[in-house]
Amino acid sequence: MNILILGSGGRESAFAWKIAQSPKCENLFIAPGNAGTGQYGTNINLKVTDFAGIKAFALSNAIDMVLVGPEEPLVKGIHDFFLADDELKGIPVIGPQAEAAQLEGSKDFSKEFMQRNNIPTAASKTFTKDTLQEGFDYLATAGLPVVLKADGLAAGKGVLICLTLEEAKLELAEMLTEAKFGDASSKVVIEQFLTGIELSVFVMTDGTNYKILPEAKDYKRIGEGDTGLNTGGMGSVSPVPFADAEFMAKVEQRVIIPTVEGLKKEGIPYKGFIFIGLMNTEGEPWVIEYNCRMGDPETESVMPRIQSDFVDLLEGVAQGNLNEKEIIISDKVAATVVCVAGGYPGEYLKNKAISGIENVRGSHVFHAGTTLSGEEVLATGGRVLAVTTLQDNMFNALQQATADAARIYYDGVYFRKDIGFDLL
Ligand code: ATP
């Protein structure tokens, strides 16, 4: 098969690494890719939202399958674009159509979906500019802390946890009347605050059948001990010790099955990944969010634990016979430590030459924000590299990934030395 992956981050590097190992993959292309993805396939200089360019490329290179990494092209309807085009409609796209991508693209849509399908989630209500006063009244009864969420995509910044009623009212007003997050906050979901410990569960579905991929925990804050600003993700670990068999059985029964069946019942086709952000509250799962794609940096820890042929599983999604496929998961532990640019997640240093990747021994280095400039690999993005290892036990995995991250150098390099150590 000729496979095209859309995206350029660590997630897409991990997909490319895994897909390149499949005997079913003849030619692999990554658009646009990064300085590392060229080791697994051919980078194509196309933006993930350049649908016309993607069409031309897919047709002239006999692409048999498109795997979409990030949410943006999904929310913008890349899958629908393929289905609506006579020349493209025979090429399966892995990733949901725009309507289903609303599970991620609109928090109001996803909350209503969960409520309709009795999926455990925090109590909530949605307000607009016209119902601001009702929003204030709701806040007064909601308890503290309270969570305000911009309805639309806000690059992970649209969620505010307010500790006082005054702060919550001020923020709600700013979001609704002053477009604090632009169009994304023209609707705001006010949600009950949940306490517990978070994890990510990943499901692959063909719309009827599903497979549960390895779960993972990610680390969002820039600082050690989970302090400081939120980032795209500083590291991840899989498996998650507190997601034991009993907890995962509850997740499957109460969340995964009702989600897949709910989509089907509501006539919303879904072929792709469902990323379920969960809170484990004293052993009970509560859904915080859905995403319509895999997580980054979770994918870097999930892919190495999948022992089955990943292309075979993707074919199952495309053909609707995922039930006939087998997923074999390693019981080893994967850990990922992300090296970021100096200054990230604020203004950060760019175009710094990277050295030391060749000194990494026990880990695999997935590139993220990197670019080739002649012979040099430059750090050009906020999240630069993801250092992943697979080891027999948690301690060795955490120690190895952290030690290998320290072997990499570029001006301003930073990584957290505590990824996963809270789980020991
Ligand atoms: P992401 O960047 O992960 O996609 P997002 O902007 O889509 O995030 P959410 O995942 O819904 O938004 O929320 C971001 C973070 O806020 C969560 O990871 C969680 O830590 C916290 N959070 C969200 N909802 C709640 C809640 N009801 N109770 C407690 N914390 C919450």
Q: What is the pLDDT of residues 370-398, one digit of tens each?
A: 999 999 999 999 999 999 999 999 999 99
CB 138 less than 6 A from any atom of ligand 1: no
CB 197 less than 6 A from any atom of ligand 1: no
Mutate to test the pocket of ligand 1, among 159, 200, 273, 281 (most ligand atoms within 8 A of CB): 159
Asked whether the beta carbons of 124 and 142 are under 8 A apart, the reply is no
Q: Which helix (H) or strand (E) holds 317?
A: helix 310-319
* Cα(233) to centroid(ligand 1), Å: 13
Q: What is the 3-state secondary structure (H, E, C) of 221-255?
A: EEECCCEEEEEEEEEEEECCCCCCHHHHHHHHHHH
* Cα(158) to centroid(ligand 1), Å: 9
Tens-binned pLDDT, residue by residue, of the chain (424 aa) = 999 999 999 999 999 999 999 999 999 999 999 999 999 999 999 999 999 999 999 999 999 999 999 999 999 999 999 999 999 999 999 999 999 999 999 999 999 999 999 999 999 999 999 999 999 999 999 999 999 999 999 877 899 999 999 999 999 999 999 999 999 999 999 999 999 999 999 999 999 999 999 999 999 999 999 999 999 999 999 999 999 999 999 999 999 999 999 999 999 999 999 999 999 999 999 999 999 999 999 999 999 999 999 999 999 999 999 999 999 999 999 999 999 999 999 999 999 999 999 999 999 999 999 999 999 999 999 999 999 999 999 999 999 999 999 999 999 999 999 999 999 9
* Cα(250) to centroid(ligand 1), Å: 21
Average pLDDT, the chain: 97
Mutate to test the pocket of ligand 1, among 162, 287, 289 (most ligand atoms within 8 A of CB): 289
* Residues whose CB is less than 8 angstroms from the CB of residue 176 and which lie 6 or more positions away in sequence, other chains included: 127, 128, 129, 132, 135, 185, 186, 188
Enter the ipTM: 0.94
Count CA within 13 A, CB hemisphere, residue 394.
16
Q: Which helix (H) or strand (E) holds 265?
A: helix 257-265
pLDDT per residue as tens digits for the range 185-209: 999 999 999 999 999 999 999 999 9
Ligand 1 atom, smallest distance to 124 CA: 27
CB 145 less than 6 A from any atom of ligand 1: no
Residue nearest to atom 9 of ligand 1 (CA): 289
CATH numbers and ranges of domains, the chain: 2-97 (3.40.50.20), 123-192 (3.30.1490.20)
Q: Which residues of 368-386 are buried (b: 16+ CB within 10 A; e: fewer)?
A: bbbbeeeeebbbbbbbbbb
CB 179 less than 6 A from any atom of ligand 1: no
